[in-house]
Homo-oligomer: A and B are copies of this chain.
Amino acid sequence: MADIWLPNLLTNTPQEGYELAVKLSRAAVRITQSNPAVRNDLRAVYEKDAEALIATAAVVATNFQTVAAANNYWRN
């Protein structure tokens, strides 16, 4: 992963910030399991598994906290 995939945490809107939180969540999976074919197989399983989907939502929520704080909650 020599390429730049996370240049900064600032986004224009909360919605873009949420999308960045999703990206951050997926990055950890990609770093731990670098084989795209295996990730695709796993995805076919967990996207139909309620507990896995909720666990994914928990990761996104934690990353959204970080992105939202970085953007000062888009208050200004």
Contact = CB atoms under 8 A, between A and B. Distances in A.
Interface of A: 4-10, 13-15, 18, 22, 24-29, 31-33, 38, 42-43, 45-66, 68-70, 73-75
Given A18-B27, A57-B25, A33 B47 contact: yes
B54 A55 contact: yes
Contact of A61 (B13, B42, B63): B63
B65 A66 contact: yes
Given A61-B63, A62-B62, 14 more contacts: A6-B13, A6-B14, A6-B15, A8-B13, A9-B73, A28-B60, A32-B47, A32-B53, A32-B57, A33-B48, A38-B48, A58-B58, A68-B70, A69-B69
